[in-house]
Structure 1
Amino acid sequence: MPQDLTTPAGRRAALVNSLFVDHAALRTGWRNWGIVVPGRLYRSNHPQPWQLRNAARRFGLKTVINLRGHRPECGSDALSRAAAALLGLDHIDAPFESRGAPHKDRILRLAGIYASMQEPALIHCKSGADRTGLAAGLFLLLNGGASADALAQLHPRWGHIAASRTGILDAFFHRYAWDAEGRLPFLDWVRDEYDETALRAEFQSRPWADRLVDGVLRRE
C-alpha cells in the first residue's frame, strides 16, 4: 500500500521500509556521489532525507530527477519526495530501466526536462550506477559532449558492470559513436535513426556478470 507520512506511525513504517526493504541502510555510508557538470548537474544513489538536505545546502540544488519513477509502496520514494517538497525543490519523475535498450520516448522526454529544468539538479536511481550513469551521459551529449564522455559516466567506479545486462546502456552510446557521431547531432540520431529493437538483438551479456549483478548485488 502507498506510504503514509501524515502520522508518526506512518513515517516510522516508511523509514523501516526504506532502510530494510529498499536497502537504504546500505546507502547510509555509500553515497555514490558524483559531479557531472559543476554547478549544473550532480549524481547519486537514492538519497535519504538528510543526505538530500545536505546536498541542497552545499550545492544549491533546485531540482531532483528520480530515474526510478514514482513508487507509492517504496519508503525511500515517499521520504525523498517529502524532503524535496520541504526544501522547495522541483521533484521530477523520469523513469528508465537498467537492463533494456533505452526507450526513444523516454530519452526525448528527459532531453526536454534537461532543457527546461532549474539548475543545479540532482539525478538519482537506486544505486546510482546504471540508470544514473545513462542519464548523466545523456546530459553530456545534449550539451556538446562526446560519446566517450558519456561512456565515462558508466564506469566501475560507480558500480556499473558493463559485462552484465546493464551493459546495454554502454552499447547504446557505442552505437551512436559508430553510426552517427560527427555526422548527426545526438538528438537527431535518436529521433531519426536509433533502433531500440536492433540494439536489443545485438547485445549479449556475460552469465557470470548477470549472476553478480542480479543474484549477489541484487540491483534494480
Structure 2
Amino acid sequence: MFKTLKRGFKRFERGEVGQFGNDVSTPRTRRLAMWHFHLFDHAFLRGIWTNLYEIAPCVWRSNQPSPARIKRYARMGIKTILSLRGDKDLSFMLLEKQACAEHGITLITTNKAAARGALSGKDYVELIDLLASIPKPFLIHCKSGADRAGLASALYLLHCEGASIKEAKKMLSLRFMHLKSTKTGILDHILDLYEADLKADGPIPIRDWFETRYDIEKARTFKTMRSFP
C-alpha cells in the first residue's frame, strides 16, 4: 500500500506540477514551481516553523525561506543569503534566486556541508573561509535549519566570534530540531572530537584543527544511539 502511494506521488511529481523546467519567469511556471516547492520540498511545514535565530549580531540562521520570507528578510536589512543546499535547478533554488534578485539580496550557494556524513577537512576549511568572507548582515540556511545550518553556525561562532566550544555546540540542539540520536548526530561527534583535542592538547583554532588534526575516518566511526546495544 505504502509503495503504491509512493509511486503515485512520484508520478504526480513528474506530471504537470513538475513541468516548470528551470524557468519560473511566467505565471504558469512560477505557479507550478510553487506547488512543487510546497508539496515536494515540504515548504508548507516551514510556513509555520521558520527556525529563524540570530546567532551573532547581524548573522542569522533559518530553514529554507520562501519568496515571501525573503522579502521580509530584505526589509530586516539582510544583504546576503548563504544556502548550504548547493546550486540545483529545483523549485526551491529557482524561487530563491528569483526572490533574491527582486529584493537586492546576494545569494551564495555551497555544497560544503552535509547532515548525515563527515566531509573532508578541506571541505570544512573552505566552508569556514566562506563564512568568514560574507559581509554582515547575512543569513545561513539549509532545508530544515537544523543540521547543516547548525554546524555552519557553530563553525562561524568558533572561527569568527571566538566562542567557546560549549557555546558553539548549542547550535546543534533540539531547540533547532536537531536530533543527536539519529544519523545527524555525526555533526555533534565532529565537534566532540575537536573538544577532546582541546582538552588533551590545549587551544587550537577550529580552522587549524581541520587542516592538521581532523581525522575523517575517526569522524566516520560515529554510530547513532539506535545502533547501540
Give the TM-score band, short-chain normalised.
0.7 to 0.9
Q: Is the 8 A contact 1:102 1:169 kept in 2?
A: no
Tell which structure's C-alpha radius of gyration is larger: 2
- Structure 1 segments, 4+ long, off by >2 Å, are 180-183
Residue-by-residue CA offset, 1:195-215 (whole Å, 9 max, x unaligned): 1111102x110338xxxxxxx
Please list every run of 5 or more consecutive structure 1 residues that lacks an aligned counterpart in the other structure. 209-220
Determine the C-alpha separation between the residues in 2 that align with 1:57 and 1:90.
14
Instruction: Count how many residue pairs are aligned between Structure 1 and Structure 2.
Output: 205
SS in 1 for 2:68: helix
Choose from 109, 129, 133 the match for 2:150.
Answer: 133
Q: Which residue of 2 aligns with 1:31?
A: 50
Q: Does residue 1:18 correspond to 2:18, yes or no?
A: no
Q: Which residue of 2 aligns with 1:216?
A: none
- The amino acid across from 1:191 in the alignment is E
Choose from 110, 134, 143 the match for 1:94.
Answer: 110
Q: Is the 8 A contact 1:99 1:168 kept in 2?
A: yes
Q: Is the 8 A contact 2:157 2:163 kept in 1?
A: yes
Kindly state the Cα deviation for residue 70 of structure 1 after the two structures are TM-superposed. Answer: 1.3
Q: Which residue of 2 aligns with 1:124?
A: 141
Q: Is the 8 A contact 2:132 2:156 kept in 1?
A: no
| Cα root mean square deviation, aligned | 1.7
Q: TM-score, normalised by structure 2?
A: 0.85
Q: Which residue of 2 aligns with 1:68?
A: 85
- The amino acid across from 2:109 in the alignment is D
Q: Does residue 1:153 correspond to 2:171, yes or no?
A: yes
Q: Does residue 1:194 correspond to 2:214, yes or no?
A: yes
Q: Which residue of 2 aligns with 1:213?
A: none
Kindly state the Cα deviation for residue 27 of structure 1 after the two structures are TM-superposed. Answer: 0.6
Determine the C-alpha separation between the residues in 2 that align with 1:85 and 1:106.
28
- The amino acid across from 2:224 in the alignment is S
- The amino acid across from 1:198 in the alignment is K
Determine the C-alpha separation between the residues in 2 that align with 1:57 and 1:169.
33
Q: TM-score, normalised by structure 1?
A: 0.88
Choose from 20, 23, 28 the match for 1:4.
Answer: 23
